[in-house]
Chain A
């Protein structure tokens, strides 16, 4: 056998198998009401597989297909009712057949005995009952002949046939007798044998209508196969040709020499190989269409065409050739015009070429289009099997099977769809009992739809199951640390439901066999993302869930946004662009912050990394000069440096050079120096990409890059622009990786995982700024206390009046080193020094540190004992290093006690406490704060003032305490963002309660947004304080308690 034949055979067989499932399920649905056409179709499929298998010596495939055929034959002859069990066996047998085909070369070594036995059992079981009923009437030919008979019959170029006469239709209804027929045959050839023996054939009138008895004749004649059917007045499928040399393989022939045991007469009358290999016979075509001799039902058999393997409709090919012809003509016109004509002719010709090309492209696209039925159909089976396994009743309705999609997309869609359908069956549709309880029909329904909408294809998977529980999803997401409490509070129901698609989320309580095999909806989403698809989920409890997938028609054309950097154009795939921002030059500092070397963009409260395309690409960034209309090299050292407010003391030679050339007013204040930022989505995280200019959106044709550029993961390919030049397409995920953003994101993720373990130990997540005092001395401060960070040179630090200052903006900034108050290593002498700016007691101060700085989001378990000292509130293990947690307020108080002198009132209070310590029993403060880190911190410094502090882990706990002890508390300090009962709700409760409404409530917040303050005022918050601004807080506490 040659490989090509085998390949074609396997492909063809696979095609047969594809349609079989649907058909078998249809047969199952029909039950006893057998659709003969359908059974015949499946029969023929099995038959062709068997025939080819025999031809290619794939014995196992042949055997298995043969057994399947037997069952189907019984069904066709109404001897076997297609019960679900039987259909199940058939389905699994076809599956096995598919597996064998997948590995055709080794299929003969596979063990298929179990399947064969299973199938045989079905035929046997049926046969016994059938035999009892039909009293031994033979239902298939089994000629016992000797080889001599055959070879003698073959003499003179005779051809051997097996003829099938239907007793009823072909004999009695024609007013003939079997004897007539046989004698007619004798005239044209030689009858070798007849089955059954004529004496056994009873009176036809007595036969049951369903009894389709036939007479088989082994007949040798010189008549060619293409003539015999008309001559004998038999249809093609009643005639079987036995090819010379193949007699031994014909199961209908039982060679007496073989002495085979009298088995149950083989239902197989004639293997296909006889027909299909009979290529020398002119009637090949007819033969191919000809199934084996069958009983009555088979007469209806229709042609099965080979066009199933033809994937492109000929009409499309014709169109294509027409277009190609037109293109050639247009080219000729164009060339002619270029040689002789003027501009007008060239324009016209060019226009024509343009049109034809577009047409041609569209037509070529058509060849890639495939109906979605190719994948839809398999869900009939998937759903049926799942329903059986799960003990549920589920029906699936497929709509829009004709919708066509690009081949690549169809192929990529299989896995996500399967996952979604499985989810619907497993988690969506309830058990019949449960459904009944809910007053729903016991049978659940899944709809799988495909349709066109605004140039895209939509696929919907809808079930009428129990729907998603948004609150449960939110809880789970919180549990897994996928979202923050802040975020969870602001989510709509729809957004909550869509949490299911976050990475690391799987709703199934336990991993079941059906879905939730460690992969979740996030995988579905990722797969679809890759194809440029979008997924959306709508769900209502007890009403069901609808998942909607939007897909582009093709991947070859990609809508993109053209951007440029340093005169080079790049295309950003539109699916990856979340939004475009234009930051006015004057507002850059409001949007962009610099932390260490990195730029951070704060977008609606979210901090996202900001990259500059020209930096990553090592290109010289440019800006548009409106005066000259040219792009000029940008001298900014980074985005953050917008040259408007740069302090004179700021770093760098580039800075100096820039200063010498430009007077401040000439600096980049025009709108052209605005920063263009594209917010890009790369898998699960977002980042901003600053580009020099944003141009059009264009539909581009993606072209792959050559092998030399394979390692450049920054690019997804290249495209050819209208002017014939090439532009590179950016791969947003690759770009992030190149800029090492991914590493950061992954690190954050792994930390998040760590957090899940730690959270039980009472750790809390903090964003901290890590800096160094000495090279091995790590310090951290809560990030929100940091006003900003400046880089200075050691020389910039001046000593004035015994204090260190640096010139900063219009004044002097006092700077301090940690060692001045705390017992730590002396700061290492460095040329580059980082100054961290804080605001303490109404002043800005700087803390000196050694670069680099780092921001970490970590779960902190603070040790408030071991390393506690002035200016250090404790230590924590951060990134496996012992890190001091710097108490900047304590530090400043130690260094500049005079700054705090104006708060004499507090000092007075302090002396009061000392004078009358008993009064502290009346001065209990309730502190509600969910973060144990902050709770410990705040509790510590309030307690240090002599108050008694009751800590509560959330609003509810605080409320419970207040309810129980309404008289106990003098003042409430509360965080705002807390689980269960947040700060606002707690305040509202307090203010609405007669017993408690007098209590002052101070809200603590890490970022006092105006909106929050307004809300707080509305519910009755007396005052707002920034967390950890110890002085202010104590001042206020004192103020309220002494009103």
Chain B
């Protein structure tokens, strides 16, 4: 965590990097190695009759990307697209999927040992979407998303 000695950072084996972002007021993080890019282009085409959590599709350099409202999927209620919104592009099983985030925060680096189990009160239905929690340098608690669950169909 923040009081971990900096000298620990060179030990890359242990070190994990997360891109942190907000879903409504909740700070969440995704393992940076899974992220292809963060995109600002919010020109999204709606897909009528699609599952509710699919906001639409967009063009990413000639590829069709499905955009998922992760906030809705996790159960935090639907996100509204606003100026600060960003799309986190994930390369998953031969296709690109975009996750809508309300606001991108910074990159959080922490050793594996700093991650704690998700508190028991967020277990339950929502619990499956989280693999752990981490306190960032602003002492803010960040929930680490279980990407596979978020991307699940």
Chain A residues packing against B (C-beta within 8 Å): 568, 616-619, 703-712, 714-715, 717-718, 720, 724-728, 738
User: Are the C-beta atoms of A708 and B68 separated by less than 8 Å?
Assistant: yes
User: Are the C-beta atoms of A568 and B49 separated by less than 8 Å?
Assistant: no
Smallest beta-carbon distance A487→chain B, Å? 35
* Partner-contacting stretch, out of B17-25, B54-62, B79-87, B123-131: B54-62
User: Are the C-beta atoms of B153 and A707 separated by less than 8 Å?
Assistant: yes
* B46 at interface by CB-CB < 8 Å: yes
Jot down 29 A-B pairs with beta carbons below 8 A, ordered by A.
A568-B45, A616-B48, A703-B62, A704-B64, A706-B96, A707-B93, A707-B95, A708-B66, A708-B68, A708-B97, A708-B153, A709-B47, A709-B51, A709-B54, A709-B66, A712-B49, A712-B50, A714-B48, A715-B47, A717-B64, A718-B57, A720-B64, A724-B43, A724-B59, A726-B58, A726-B59, A726-B64, A727-B45, A728-B47
* B74 at interface by CB-CB < 8 Å: no
User: Are the C-beta atoms of A706 and B49 separated by less than 8 Å?
Assistant: no
Smallest beta-carbon distance B73→chain A, Å? 10
Given the known inter-chain contacts A705-B57, A707-B93, please indicate yes or no for A718 contacting B64, CB distance below 8 A. yes
Smallest beta-carbon distance A862→chain B, Å? 43
Scoring A568, A706, A717 by chain B CB atoms within 10 A of each residue's CB, the highest score goes to A706
Bound complex: CA of A568 vs CA of B43, how far in Å? 13
Bound complex: CA of A720 vs CA of B65, how far in Å? 11
Choose from B62, B66, B93, B97 the contact partner of A720 (Cβ within 8 Å). Answer: B62
User: Are the C-beta atoms of A710 and B45 separated by less than 8 Å?
Assistant: no
How many B residues face the partner with a CB closer than 8 A?
Answer: 23
Bound complex: CA of A708 vs CA of B70, how far in Å? 13
Smallest beta-carbon distance A441→chain B, Å? 57
A-contact 0/1 string along B22-60, CB 8 Å cutoff: 000000000000000000000101111111001001110
Bound complex: CA of A704 vs CA of B66, how far in Å? 11
Bound complex: CA of A736 vs CA of B66, how far in Å? 24
Smallest beta-carbon distance B151→chain A, Å? 8
Smallest beta-carbon distance A280→chain B, Å? 42
Given the known inter-chain contacts A706-B64, A709-B54, please indicate yes or no for A725 contacting B97, CB distance below 8 A. no
Choose from A619, A706, A714, A725 the contact partner of B66 (Cβ within 8 Å). Answer: A706
Nearest first, the 4 closest Cβ-Cβ pairs linking A and B are A617-B48, A706-B66, A726-B45, A703-B64
Chain B residue nearest to A735 (CB atoms) is B49
For residue A710, which residues in chain B have a CB less than 8 angstroms away from its CB?
A: 153
For residue A720, which residues in chain B have a CB less than 8 angstroms away from its CB?
A: 59, 62, 64
Smallest beta-carbon distance A202→chain B, Å? 72
Chain A residue nearest to B51 (CB atoms) is A708
Bound complex: CA of A956 vs CA of B57, how far in Å? 64
* B63 at interface by CB-CB < 8 Å: yes
Chain B residue nearest to A708 (CB atoms) is B66
Smallest beta-carbon distance B46→chain A, Å? 6
Bound complex: CA of A617 vs CA of B63, how far in Å? 24
Smallest beta-carbon distance A731→chain B, Å? 12
Choose from B46, B48, B62, B97 the contact partner of A706 (Cβ within 8 Å). Answer: B97
For residue A727, which residues in chain B have a CB less than 8 angstroms away from its CB?
A: 45
Choose from A703, A708, A714, A724 the contact partner of B49 (Cβ within 8 Å). Answer: A714
User: Are the C-beta atoms of B54 and A708 separated by less than 8 Å?
Assistant: yes
For residue A707, which residues in chain B have a CB less than 8 angstroms away from its CB?
A: 66, 93, 95, 153
Given the known inter-chain contacts A718-B57, A726-B58, A727-B45, please indicate yes or no for A706 contacting B65, CB distance below 8 A. yes
Instruction: Other than A705-B66, A708-B68, give 4 A-B pairs with Cβ distance below 8 A.
Output: A617-B48, A706-B57, A708-B66, A726-B59
For residue A703, which residues in chain B have a CB less than 8 angstroms away from its CB?
A: 62-64
Bound complex: CA of A718 vs CA of B46, how far in Å? 12
Bound complex: CA of A717 vs CA of B59, how far in Å? 13
Chain B residue nearest to A718 (CB atoms) is B64
Bound complex: CA of A727 vs CA of B43, how far in Å? 12
Bound complex: CA of A793 vs CA of B51, how far in Å? 37
Chain B residue nearest to A619 (CB atoms) is B48
Smallest beta-carbon distance A562→chain B, Å? 13
For residue A715, which residues in chain B have a CB less than 8 angstroms away from its CB?
A: 47
For residue B48, which residues in chain A have a CB less than 8 angstroms away from its CB?
A: 568, 616-619, 714
Chain B residue nearest to A723 (CB atoms) is B43
For residue A619, which residues in chain B have a CB less than 8 angstroms away from its CB?
A: 48
For residue B46, which residues in chain A have a CB less than 8 angstroms away from its CB?
A: 568
Bound complex: CA of A708 vs CA of B51, how far in Å? 8
Choose from A616, A709, A726 the contact partner of B50 (Cβ within 8 Å). Answer: A709
Bound complex: CA of A817 vs CA of B49, how far in Å? 42
Chain B residue nearest to A714 (CB atoms) is B49
For residue A714, which residues in chain B have a CB less than 8 angstroms away from its CB?
A: 48-49
Bound complex: CA of A726 vs CA of B67, how far in Å? 12
Chain A residue nearest to B41 (CB atoms) is A724
For residue A618, which residues in chain B have a CB less than 8 angstroms away from its CB?
A: 48-49
Smallest beta-carbon distance B44→chain A, Å? 8
For residue B68, which residues in chain A have a CB less than 8 angstroms away from its CB?
A: 708
Choose from B47, B54, B59, B63 the contact partner of A725 (Cβ within 8 Å). Answer: B59
Bound complex: CA of A738 vs CA of B49, how far in Å? 10
Smallest beta-carbon distance B24→chain A, Å? 22
Given the known inter-chain contacts A720-B59, A720-B62, A724-B59, please indicate yes or no for A708 contacting B43, CB distance below 8 A. no
For residue B58, which residues in chain A have a CB less than 8 angstroms away from its CB?
A: 726
Scoring A617, A717, A738 by chain B CB atoms within 10 A of each residue's CB, the highest score goes to A617
Given the known inter-chain contacts A705-B57, A707-B153, please indicate yes or no for A712 contacting B47, CB distance below 8 A. yes
For residue A726, which residues in chain B have a CB less than 8 angstroms away from its CB?
A: 45, 57-59, 64
Given the known inter-chain contacts A703-B63, A707-B93, A709-B66, please indicate yes or no for A725 contacting B49, CB distance below 8 A. no
For residue B43, which residues in chain A have a CB less than 8 angstroms away from its CB?
A: 724-725
For residue A718, which residues in chain B have a CB less than 8 angstroms away from its CB?
A: 45, 57, 64
Bound complex: CA of A86 vs CA of B7, how far in Å? 83
Bound complex: CA of A568 vs CA of B47, how far in Å? 9
Bound complex: CA of A706 vs CA of B60, how far in Å? 13
Smallest beta-carbon distance B119→chain A, Å? 30
Chain A residue nearest to B93 (CB atoms) is A707
B100-138 interface (Cβ within 8 A of A): none
Smallest beta-carbon distance A221→chain B, Å? 57
Scoring A619, A708, A714, A728 by chain B CB atoms within 10 A of each residue's CB, the highest score goes to A708
Bound complex: CA of A87 vs CA of B55, how far in Å? 64
